[in-house]
Amino acid sequence: MRALVAAAAGLAAALALVLAVTALGSPGGDTSPEPLLSSPPAHP
Amino acid sequence: MRRRASLVLLALAVFCTALSPLLRWYAFPRLAKVPAHHYQAVVLEAKDATLIDYATLEPRRVSTVTMVQTLKGNVEQARRVKAATGRDVVVWDTLTYAAGPDGAMVSRIPERYVFDAHSQQPVHAGGEHVDDTPVRRDGIEFKWPFLVEKRDYRYFDLMTRTSAPIHYKGTRTFRGLDVYYFEQTIPWTEVPLPKRLPLGITPDAVRQLGLERWYTTRRMFWVDPVTGAPVNGEEIHREELRWTGHPEKKPVTAFAGHVKIRPDYVADTVATVKAQRRLVLLLTRDLPSGLIALGVALLAAALVLEARDRRAPAPGVPHDGGKPERPPPGEGALSRGGSP
């Protein structure tokens, strides 16, 4: 019985971690102020 | 104590083993996406190309035709599309600017590409255009999806404004990376003239001369299969102005050249892709396989501890379950009597 509880706790922790990380996602950011270029830059 | 430790190890083993597929099949598809604010400029060159001189309508050989392709993520528009469709999208406003050897403009084609940030499939939310003409894509453009498959994809062609298959032609090694090589051939097709041409010439003026624009290309991409980012691209590109209704008249070559990404941009792209693929591989390969191995090791440790715990005598209980201790050999015989 105690083994089952331990296994369930491990599973619940894994699910909680994955759900939390995916819910956080990645930061959005803003549109770059750089222009659309009409001449080649000297370097990348 | 051992019992408690084995239970903790069991919980950790289940945690690691469950986390492995969850990371790969649940978290990765949701976390891997093209950032909405991505900005990128790439310079391509065609050496010893043929280019039309619009003043004389004659083709001439030039040392270099340069193309600057800029992609700029429009975050505000992406948010608007997400609010309307509920999908995580990227809106790229792009400009393909071609210039002759003197830096003068040859053509200038703006474009808007709206696509799903995770799958890279086009999203039709309005505003998609090529050269200010609305289009409806049904194929990818610029980038392949994450974890590229060894199969043909549909790829959008800027000039014809249609999508056509781009064929997987095998795996190659490019600057230390194993990449998938794709190729697409667009046969001779009549295409619209760019709205902005040199010398202030308009597409209507060209049409009034009785000319129409035809184009063919062989497009090649070397694509990193992990990130889906092309690390190199080339095009063998030809454009002609043909006389409408007069197939017997010799067409005028508007452009002919082998377009390649400038080497410093290839090196920069390869370096960027190498850094990004590490992150993707961490989520799709390294962490899942490492967690499975760790889970198995933890489970084995939990079982070993549990087995030891069952074998070990409980404190205060004799090792044989409480039977009277057997006397040492000899002692018993003497006590039972016999010779004094």
pLDDT tens string, chain A, 44 residues long: the values are 889 999 999 999 999 999 999 998 777 789 999 999 999 998 89
**Whether residue B84 has pLDDT greater than 70:** yes
Q: What is the pLDDT of residue B332?
A: 45
Number of A to B CB contacts under 8 A, please give it: 112
* Cα–Cα distance, B177 to B273 (Å, whole number): 10
Taking the Cβ of residue B94 and every Cβ of chain A, the question of whether any pair is shorter than 8 Å is answered with: yes
B303 CB-near residues (< 8 Å, 6+ apart): B6
Task: Give pLDDT, residue A25.
Answer: 79
- For the stretch B161-170, pLDDT in tens is 999 999 999 9
Q: Alpha helix locations (H) across chain B?
A: 2-21, 28-31, 75-85, 203-208, 263-281, 287-311, 331-335
State how far the Cα of A20 lies from the Cα of B311, in Å rounded to an integer: 41
As a whole number of angstroms, the distance between CA B94 and CA B192 comes to 18
User: For chain A, how far is it from start to end, CA to CA, in angstroms?
Assistant: 62
Closest-CA distance of chain B to residue A2, Å: 7
B residues 5-44 closer than 8 Å to A (CB):
7-8, 10-16, 18-19, 22-23, 26-27, 30-31, 33, 35-37, 39, 41, 43
The verdict on pTM exceeding 0.80 is yes
Structure tokens at B261: 């990404």
One DSSP character per residue, B278-332 reads HHHHIIIIIHHHHHHHHHHHHHHHHHHHHHHHHHSPPTTS-TTSSPPPPPPTTHH
The 10 Å CB-count burial string (b at 16+, else e) for B71-98 is bbbbbebbebbbeeeebbbbbbbbbbbb
In this prediction the ipTM stands at 0.92
Residue B177 has pLDDT above 80, yes or no: yes
Is the pLDDT confidence value at B340 over 60? Answer: no
Distance CA B219, CA B153 (A): 13
B155 touches B138 (CB < 8 A): no
Provide the 10 A C-beta neighbour count for residue B142.
21
Cα separation of B193 and B215, whole Å?
A: 10
Tell whether the model's pLDDT for residue B63 goes beyond 50.
yes
Q: What is the pLDDT of residue B114?
A: 97
In this complex, do B37 and A28 lie within 8 Å of one another by their Cβ atoms?
yes
> CA-to-CA distance for B115 and B91, rounded, in angstroms?
7
Mean pLDDT of chain B: 91
Distance CA B286, CA B293 (A): 11
Picking from B43, B76, B305 by the largest number of A CB atoms within 10 A of its own CB, the best residue to mutate is B43
Q: Given this model, what pLDDT does residue A1 score?
A: 83
Q: Indicate the residue of B35, B95, B267 with minimum beta-carbon distance to A36.
A: B95
Closest by alpha carbon to B125, among B162, B88, B163, B164?
A: B88
Q: Which of B173, B197, B223, B159 is nearest to B55 (CA)?
A: B197
pLDDT of residue B311: 82
Distance CA B102, CA B109 (A): 19
For residue A28, the chain B residues in CB contact (below 8 A) are 36-37, 75
Q: Are B90 and B73 in contact (CB under 8 A)?
A: yes
Interface check for B264 against chain A (CB to CB < 8 A): the answer is: yes
State whether B7 and A2 contact (CB < 8 Å). Answer: yes
